[in-house]
Amino acid sequence: MPKILLIEDNEDNRDSLSRRLQRRGFAVSFAVDGKQGVVMAGTERPDLILMDMNLPELDGWEATRQIKSAPETRMIPVIALTAHAMSGDRERALEVGCADYHTKPVEFARLLTQIEALLSSGTTEPTTPLTGEQTPAAVAATAGLGLTSAPDAVAGNKTE
């Protein structure tokens, strides 16, 4: 049974999401702030982390940086959860080490697809940080999207 660490300060979001994940067969533990999340990532060693980016004590951006900088936790994939759908937030999440990004409110079917894709990929390599020199095609290739350009991404065109 895959273990997910849910780092979320909002009790309603935490309860709803953890119940839905448990019904799908995941073991779920949770932290209510970034500091607790960093500690639990090291002690619990989850298979995946769902990280709210707007947390008390230590925000999700810095908590992810700390998790990704520690040798014992750097290989754990992190999905950023944020209500901020501002331009550049996805890139910022990738820069700090997140493997994927999901805006709130959570669309559970899509989040479940993201979780299953990361868990089934079997990758043990940390997420490649996004740099200013990368083109949209390079970013898409790194993410395994098979897209050739930003317009292709918008149009949903994939290379085969």
Span 133-149, pLDDT tens digits: 333 444 444 444 443 44
Handedness of CA 81, 133, 71, 110 (dihedral sign): positive
pLDDT of residue 132 exceeding 80: no
d(CA 127, CA 19): 28
d(CA 115, CA 113): 5
Q: Where are the domains of the chain?
A: 3-129, 130-160
Judge if the upstream peptide bond of residue 46 is cis by omega within 30 degrees of 0: no
Higher pLDDT, 34 or 137: 34
Tokens of residue 53, six digits: 């980016």
pLDDT score for 90: 85
pLDDT score for 142: 43
> Which CATH number is 3-129 given?
3.40.50.2300
Question: Which secondary structure element, helix H or strand E, spans residue 51, and what is its range?
Answer: strand 48-52
Tokens of residue 147, six digits: 């897209």
Span 41-90, pLDDT tens digits: 999 999 999 999 999 999 999 999 999 999 999 999 999 998 877 778 88
